[in-house]
Amino acid sequence: MPFKILFTFWFFLLGSAIGSFLNVLIYRLPRKESILFPPSHCPSCNHKLAPKDLFPIFSYIFLKGRCRYCGAKISIRYPLVEILTAIFFALSFWLYGWSFYCLKMLIFFSLLLPIFFIDLEHMLIPDVLSFTGLGLGLFLSLLEGKIYQSILGSIVFGGVLLLIYLGALFILKEEGMGQGDIKLGFLLGSFLGLKLSLLALFLSYILGGIISIFILLFKDKNLKTAIPFGPFLILGSFISLFWGESIISFYLSLFIK
Ligand SMILES: [Zn+2]
């Protein structure tokens, strides 16, 4: 037990460091900047950041959310991504221990968190993340002996989105969603398998619908707000992954006595 607590803490630290790297991806991938070069710098004054400026979570708190060199505000997204990743890593280890499933969850999260924030801000999903993710999803499933489930999930998740996309294009003459969402669907399906993919799709549309209604109600109607769909696909997939089996058995229990 004491070892488990120690390792959980270690996973928290590991997660915060990975989160720090995910922040680099979130900032640089949509700007087509190199991930490795140049070293981290302030986006406002370009001053190179010292290690003491880059310590996950704590640097933001000590600097009170401002750049040490020019005083520009640092986006709250930085500590948020670090703390979310740290908590997710710690929680995954606490729940699943040293297991293949735990590793799979950590990889899944590390792929989807940057996609979530990039799509939210820029309305795009970098292909490099979608394709790397699809490759990893298939590879991990192969190791798990679930490759057919993975391929099927991927084809159905991506395929349903592709059909909806084509339907909107031919019938409504507009792009209902971005092509990036379809590629994201292939990635999500490869991790979820067929059953959880279908549930995730269903949940994504419900979530998307609810949030869209709220935005329409509370925002200036003249302001045309486009909402990216990727974050909903990701939220729906996470709910499906963690609670999908319970949701499905609850739903079935309503009909089968
Ligand atoms: Zn600065």
Question: Around Cβ 141, how many Cβ atoms within 10 Å?
Answer: 21
Give the predicted TM-score (pTM) of the model: 0.91
Span 43-63, pLDDT tens digits: 899 999 998 998 889 999 999
Ligand 1 centroid–CA 28 distance in Å is 17
Ligand 1 centroid–CA 73 distance in Å is 8
d(CA 196, CA 238): 10
Ligand 1 centroid–CA 66 distance in Å is 8
- The confidence score (pLDDT) of residue 174 equals 79
Mean pLDDT of 88-108: 95
Mean pLDDT of 29-44: 89
Ligand 1 centroid–CA 124 distance in Å is 27
- The confidence score (pLDDT) of residue 153 equals 97
Span 192-204, pLDDT tens digits: 999 999 999 999 9
Ligand 1 centroid–CA 179 distance in Å is 35
Mean pLDDT of 168-188: 89
- The confidence score (pLDDT) of residue 221 equals 58
- The confidence score (pLDDT) of residue 2 equals 83
Domain parsing of the chain, residue ranges: 1-98, 99-257
Residue 42 in contact with residue 49, Cβ under 8 Å? yes
Ligand 1 centroid–CA 257 distance in Å is 63
Ligand 1 centroid–CA 57 distance in Å is 18
Question: Around Cβ 143, how many Cβ atoms within 10 Å?
Answer: 11
d(CA 99, CA 165): 38
